[in-house]
Structure 1
Amino acid sequence: MNSLRSLFLVAACCCSALIASNLASAQYTLTVESSPAITAGLTTYRFYVDMQDATDRMSAVFGNDQASLLVNTPGGAFNSPFNSSWNASGINPAFLPVFPDLADDTYATIGLTGPASTSGIAGAADPSIVEDATQPITPYFLTPGATNLESTTLTGASWYVLNTAANGLPDANLQVLVMQVTTAGDISGQINYQVFPLGVGADQAQVSTEFSGAGTFGGDTGGGDIEGCTDDMACNFNADATLDDGSCLMLDECGVCGGNGIPAGDCDCDGNIL
């Protein structure tokens, strides 16, 4: 019991640390791919984090009161009765020939489409999860027709693998699968994830991005301010700036942006004394 409690505390602290870090990187985008599901009328969406190097490691997907984890599927998520787990570990390959729609199941993952033990990846490990008991996210991956996953509390939630898990490494396309959702309608929301660049945990990078349907999304730091001059009367006005950094400059009488004007004793802008 003590070891389980310690694991929960470590994971919860890790989840909180994700927000504290300012190392989120624009290079780790989210790609959502869609394809027709085996079940007629449904579409399967696969969520991949795009890595930059073969040694980058996917660490966690998370949500809390500072970075909401949201998945909206108004048409309902398909959850197979033959996968009793919130992750892909319950997708038994032996069942697929008999129950092919098991492959359509909605699940959370870190780099796996089935149990780690049958993945063929040496050193693979099934992901673990921590979640707020007052706002659990596991029901979304277990309830047929689920329409909403939400993690917005202080405690929040996270599914993760340790830095030693080989399935945290990217595939041949430099991607790591983090979620599969099958639904009859639209899909949208926000996802937050942590990456260890080059496998170095101390250099953790966190990204928060919104998504809608299929495509490549995000890669920013979650909507931080852009510093610059916000005075539209200034000669160095930055229309993209959202936070004034005190750098605004004005044209002097010689038309120089931020210039000192005509020096004492000079009579024109070329420095000539008339």
Structure 2
Amino acid sequence: IGGSIFVVPGANSQGVPVAGRVLLGQFTTSGQVNALVNVQVRDQADVSHYAEGLTMTFPEGISGCQDASACNYNPDAIYDDGSCAVDDDCGVCGGDGSSCVFGDGLCTGLSYEVVSSDPLGTGAITYRLFANLTADAAEVTAMYGTDTAPWEMTSSAVDGFYNDAVGSDFGGGINPLFFPSFPNLEFDSWFTIGAEPGDDDGLNSAFDAALSSLDDFNSGGDFIVNTFIGGSVFVVPGANSQGVPVAGRVLLGQFTTSGQVNALVNIQIRDQAQESHYAEGMTLTFPEGIAGCMDVSACNYNLDAIYADGSCAVDDDCGVCGGDNSSCEGCTDASACNYDASAIVDDGSCLINDECGVCGGDGIADGACDCAGNVLDECGVCGGGGIADGTCDCDGNVLDECGVCGGDNSSCSGCTNPAADNYDSSALVDDGSCIISGCTNPAAENYDASATDDDGSCVATGCTYIGADNYLEVNTSDDGSCVFSGCTDPLAENFVAFANNDDGSCVMDPCTGGDCPFDFNEDGEIGSADLLGFLIAYGATCEELQ
């Protein structure tokens, strides 16, 4: 719903600017003001406009705690922001005192002291770590770590913690009589519950077999216990006094390193009533001061650092301090499809276009024949439609009547006429090869129109004499009908005795002069010319012919 203050437009001039400004309020405070304002503005055309989210912080300058007695006093602050605080009982500025109370109030945390400065000549310092107890009758019975309450000792030094070759994991296991022979042994790094070298030590230990915590520590590395089973060092309550505080402290370990140490510790405390209490998650970073890179040749050299934290780095090939070259990595091959002109370090990512033109692609997929994913059809055509409907192969052939693709019917052709001499019962297509024996002469009495081969069986009655005019070879029985043409006039010179059909070919003996009757043209022969002359003269009178 919100809220607003407003005036009726035009009712008076109070919302009209004076020297370009409209007064919105007055505020009296010793602090810095932050304003967030929204206004409605009406123009000359009586149209409303909205100016929202207008912000301003005033007056300019740094705000903070101006109380010099406060733990967070800021001498640069010119405006007090009400943030002044004091240290709590744990020394935490503005704290509630809970950060240094552990184990149901039996422990106020961890502390350390310097045992020796640079005893090895390497710049390393030997420290001892203590648990601070509030009851002299209390007893530290265990120091432990699990997955939910890790136990850690880490150093910022590159070489980690110093562990002597003849040293021990636990302080009570070191015999100080060996110090003259092994002077560096005195500065070995170790864990304990109250016992120093040479003390009566009843310390026991148990660690998850999967952990390499002590091995890592003995090699100079960090000590970390963070598994479900975890690990611990412990003493039998009341067996001796090693877990009982001396001057309110119980020794937990000695550590020699050139770096800054970060401790994360959990301990079990037994009170006077023999009840156990647990002080978990206690932390301490020592020594105090700035930790950083102390190598002047490093790109992140810290002039203010007094402890090396192992962070020294060099510029990578990209010019990034401590970088891994990733900021300028890429493909430096100009012929690659993913060439990166800005890359300095080749990261092996160069690619080429595949056959489909895809940069770094896999090309034509297995089983496919082109980049579109098509496959070969049965005719070997990429993306083809295969054998067309109605055809039987890729050439467009069809099945012949024998069922042979592109065939010519020859595989099932033959004589399909059961009456034929060469009938083929397996033939489907008649190829015109049928052979039927019989009389093929249409003139024969037993002529067989279906016969293809004459078998000499034709039977016909007629003239059987070869010389006769009506002789037919087919005739097998003579019926006396033979016709012989020729001259049948016995008087003719060319009389044919067996001729029974005069063909007008008779030739008579020639006559000479007027001795030859009817030889009107006196050519010695009586022929057609004489007959023609007779016919012309026929019916005429003698006088007309003279």
Using structure 1 for the length normalisation, give the TM-score.
Answer: 0.61
In 1, the alpha carbon distance for the partners of 2:276 and 2:149 equals: 20
Counterpart check, 1:183 vs 2:264:
no
Distance 1:30 1:98 in 2: 33
- Report deviation, 1:166: 1.5
Q: How far is 1:133 from its partner?
A: 1.2
CA distances 1:207-243 after superposition (whole Å, capped 9, x unpaired): 321221147xxxxxxxxxxxxxxxxxxxxxxxxxxxx
* Contact 2:110 2:283 (8 Å CA) reproduced: no
Kindly indicate which of the two structures has a greater share of residues assigned to helix: 1
2:130 to 40, 44, 48: 48
1:79 to 152, 163, 186: 163
Aligned with residue 208 of structure 1, among 281, 288, 297: 281
SS, match of residue 242 in structure 2: helix
Aligned counterparts of 1:107 and 1:152: Cα–Cα separation in 2: 19
Query: Which SS does the other structure have where 1:185 is aligned?
Result: coil
User: Cα–Cα, structure 1 residues 147 and 136, in superposed 2: closer, same or farther, change >3 Å?
Assistant: closer
Deviation of the 1:181 alpha carbon = 0.9
Partner of residue 128, structure 1: 204
Equivalent residues of 2:149, 2:280 under 8 A apart? no
Larger RCO, structure (CA 8 Å, separation 6 or more): 1
1:113 to 196, 205, 229: 196
Give the Cα–Cα distance (whole angstroms) in 1 for the partners of residues 189 and 214 of structure 2.
Answer: 11
- Choose which of 92, 116, 120 in structure 2 pairs with 1:39: 120
Matching residue of 1:148: 222
* Backbone CA RMSD of aligned residues: 1.9
For structure 1, the residue ranges without an aligned partner over 5 or more in a row are 1-22, 216-274
Q: Which residue in the other structure is 2:540 paired with? A: none
TM-score, normalized by length of structure 2? 0.32
Larger % of strand: which? 1
Question: Which of these two proteins has the greater Rg computed from alpha carbons?
Answer: 2
Measure the CA separation in 1 of the matches of 2:196 and 2:204: 15
Task: Kindly provide the CA deviation profile for residues 13-67 of structure 1, in whole angstroms up to 9, marking residues without a partner as x.
Answer: xxxxxxxxxx833441211223414212111121101122221101111111111
Distance 1:88 1:140, change over 3 A: farther
Q: Label 1:140 to 1:55 Cα distance change in 2 as closer, same or farther (>3 A).
A: farther
Distance 1:191 1:181 in 2: 14
Pairwise CA distance, 1:129: 0.7
| Alignment match of 1:98 (pick from 175, 181, 197) | 181
- Supply the distance in 2 between the matched residues of 1:134 and 1:80 (Cα, whole angstroms): 25
Q: Does the aligned pair in 1 maintain the 2:104–2:277 contact within 8 Å?
A: no
Distance 2:172 2:127 in 1: 18
Q: Return the letter of the residue paired with 1:54.
A: D
- 1:166 is aligned to 2:245: no
Q: Is the 8 A contact 2:106 2:135 kept in 1?
A: no
The 3-state SS of whatever aligns with 2:128 is: strand
2:269 & 2:118 partners in 1: Cα distance?
A: 29
Local SS of the residue matching 1:167: coil
Residue 104 of structure 2 is aligned to residue 25 of structure 1:
yes
CA-CA distance at 1:141 after TM superposition: 4.3
- Is the partner of 1:130 in helix, strand or coil? strand
The CA distance in 1 between the partners of 2:276 and 2:175, in whole Å, is: 36
Asked if the contact 1:48/1:177 (under 8 Å) is kept, the reply is: yes
Letter in 1 for 2:205: I
